[in-house]
Amino acid sequence: MKRRTKSNLKTCFFIILLFSLIISAGILVNIFLNNTSKSLLNSIYVIQFNIEYNNWDISYIEIVKLKEEWKTIERVWSALIHHDEIDKISENLELLTEYIKEKDKTNSLSHLSVLKKYIEHIPEMDKLCIENIF
């Protein structure tokens, strides 16, 4: 009888531990996605400001920095989100670099806006809310 109670307690403990781990991992992933996307968005705002004021050299330096930052973040994001989302961001980042290099203001700003949307969408997608559940 004592052995059975011990086994039942072990099962309960295992389930509680597993659920706690899954929930904590989910929360940590959400925090990580929020922080990293904020960091990327900050760089994008800086680039947007510089493009609006035609500071192309600074914009180019910033986009190169952003690409470096993206390389590091991309590795971790690949394990957490669908790879299509990552491919979309990478593709837009490449296009944006070329437009900045060519000093094409219209295309640069439009791609910057799309990139912003894609990055903002990532933590939104993982957020626990009614819209995401249904």
Partner 1 sequence: MIVFVRTIILYIFVTLAMRLMGKRQIGELQPFELVVALMLSELATLPMQDTAIPLIHGIIPILTLMSLEILISFLTLKIEFLRKVFCGTPDILIKHGKVSEEELRRQRFNLDDLIEELRMSGYLDISDIEYAILETSGKLSIIPKAEKSPVTKEDLNLRPQATKLPVSIILDGVLNKKNLAITGHDLNWLMENLRSKGINDIKDVFIAMIDSKGNLFIQRRDRDEEENKK
Q: Mask 23-42, x = binds partner 1 (CB under 8 A)?
A: --x-----------------
From 12-20, 31-39, 63-71, 124-132, give the range in contact with partner 1 by CB under 8 A. 12-20
H helices within 1-134, ranges in order? 2-52, 56-80, 83-101, 105-126, 130-133
Q: Mask 44-83, x = binds partner 1 (CB under 8 A)?
A: ----------------------------------xxxxxx
DSSP state of 54: T
DSSP state of 82: -
Residues with Cβ within 8 Å of 107's Cβ and at least 6 positions away in sequence, in order, are: 95, 99
Our CB check for partner 1 shows the closer of 19 and 49 to be 19
Q: Shortest Cβ distance from residue 60 to partner 1 (Å)?
A: 31
The one among 13, 19, 45, 53 contacting partner 1 by CB under 8 A: 19
Q: How far is CA 55 from CA 64, 72, 94, 110, 126, in A?
A: 15, 26, 19, 17, 35
Contact between 1 and partner 1 (CB under 8 A)?
Answer: no
Residues near partner 1 (CB under 8 A) are 8, 11-12, 14-15, 18-19, 22, 25, 78-84
